Structure 1
Amino acid sequence: MSKARILDPSESYTFSKYAELAYDSADILAEFGVTLKSSSLQLPQKLPIDPQPLRIELEENLILVDPVSEIARREALIFPILKTICKFSQVPLKIEYPVRVSNWLKGTFDYFIPTQQNLLVIEAKNADLARGFTQLAVELIALDQWTDSTVPRLYGTVTTGDIWKFGMFERQEKIVHKDINTYGVPRDLDLVLSTLFGITLS
């Protein structure tokens, strides 16, 4: 007996809409023929800079700004980290980058770093990492179909600014891997930075 479809073929869905759906993430991804697996991911690691200046900047930002709103978290925590990655790697940082693959796969990537790996960074709406990861997974599926890159894996992360969770899409196998670990900033800044650098410089 086949399961009933949860996405309406006649409806249009933006990326952010998936974070609002009340369905299980695995069921949503199954609509695209993709499997969701949770595990402790072994992510690429590379730390070519001294993280201390950035750590000081983030700590100063947290003293000055109460990151209760999404815009505050974006300005005080997310942007400084991604700016550091892109400045060193000498690649642009695309913000609110529009993409359309189909009526089910369209919208804007919050942050998109166009390297060989094409890293996606999603800001978790309402600081909800679980629903934010659903959105990230769907955007990785869209990126897989949209990009000309032939790398076997695509990476992304969902963040509230102070908490980061990574994901990986194995393109051939059609599996999205969700890291069971989360990383706090500024506490785990070295790990967050080394993972972001590891992905963008690989």
Structure 2
Amino acid sequence: MSILKPERSYTFSDYFEMNYPPEDILAELGYRYRLTKLDLPRGTVKHSLDNLRNMFYRKLPHISLNSETAKREVMIAPILLELLDEIDVKIDIEYPIYVSEHLKGNLDYWIRSLQNFLIVEAKKSDMEKGFTQLAAELIAMDQYLPSDDPDLFGAITVGDVWRFGKLERAAKCISRDIDSFRVPLDIHELFQVLIGILSHHQPSQAN
């Protein structure tokens, strides 16, 4: 039985609403799925993150984070603004993508350096379904970007927890990391990974 109906149009957010296992949904899009411990690239954090960490500890108890928009403004935006002090990147917010009637919608955040890309999907809750949506966005970018570009990374976050995924373009396989990063506790490690992905030079694949 087919999950995706040929006559239907699907946005990225529609994949969040599906109750099927991610491996079944991605298989219909022609990709494999696996849950594993990813060996994520890590970079060097040049500036102290103490002020950012302390700001979260000091102010979060006073803020009601009961919506996706609130988490984006209060928890995700400060992290991305701080990231601009560490590495030269371009951040697009609500970036529209159209690949097909099954792969279209807006990316919450598309972060790009010279050759590396990171898609961040912000959700109010449910990391499981959120990753399925992120995977659909990575597949869309795989088909949207030149085929000789490097493998793609993405992250799903509910504000205080971040989890990464990787799309291996040649193998058409999306891997979800078992581990996650907590904010503010793991903020230094989170920045190491963000910087590592956006400054990572991947080896070219042999034909």
Which range, TM-score by smaller chain? over 0.9
Aligned partner of 2:143: which letter?
Answer: Q
Q: Work out whether 1:21 is the aligned partner of 2:18.
A: yes
Q: Deviations over 1:132-190 (max 9, x none)?
A: 00000110000111113633411000000001110000000000001011211001111
Give 5+ residue unaligned stretches, structure 1: none
Aligned mates of 2:176, 2:138 — CA distance in 1: 12
- Alpha-carbon contact 2:116-2:150 (below 8 Å) kept: no
Which residue of the other structure, out of 149, 160, 163, is the alignment partner of 2:161?
163
Q: What does 1:61-140 align with in structure 2 at a 5 Å threshold?
A: 61-115=59-113, 116-124=115-123, 126-140=124-138
Q: Give TM-score, length-normalised by structure 1.
A: 0.93
Instruction: Quote how far apart the aligned CAs of 1:61 are.
Output: 3.3
Instruction: Quote how far apart the aligned CAs of 1:76 are.
Output: 1.3
- Alpha-carbon contact 1:119-1:156 (below 8 Å) kept: yes
Q: Deviations over 1:77-116 (max 9, x none)?
A: 1111111123432222111110101101100000111222
Residue equivalent to 1:38:
35
Instruction: Quote how far apart the aligned CAs of 1:196 are.
Output: 0.7
Aligned mates of 1:30, 1:9 — CA distance in 2: 15
Aligned partner of 1:123: which letter?
Answer: A
- Alpha-carbon contact 1:86-1:93 (below 8 Å) kept: no
- Alpha-carbon contact 2:45-2:191 (below 8 Å) kept: no
Deviates more, 1:77-86 or 1:21-30: 77-86
- Alpha-carbon contact 1:61-1:77 (below 8 Å) kept: no
Residue equivalent to 1:145:
143
Give 5+ residue unaligned stretches, structure 2: 201-207
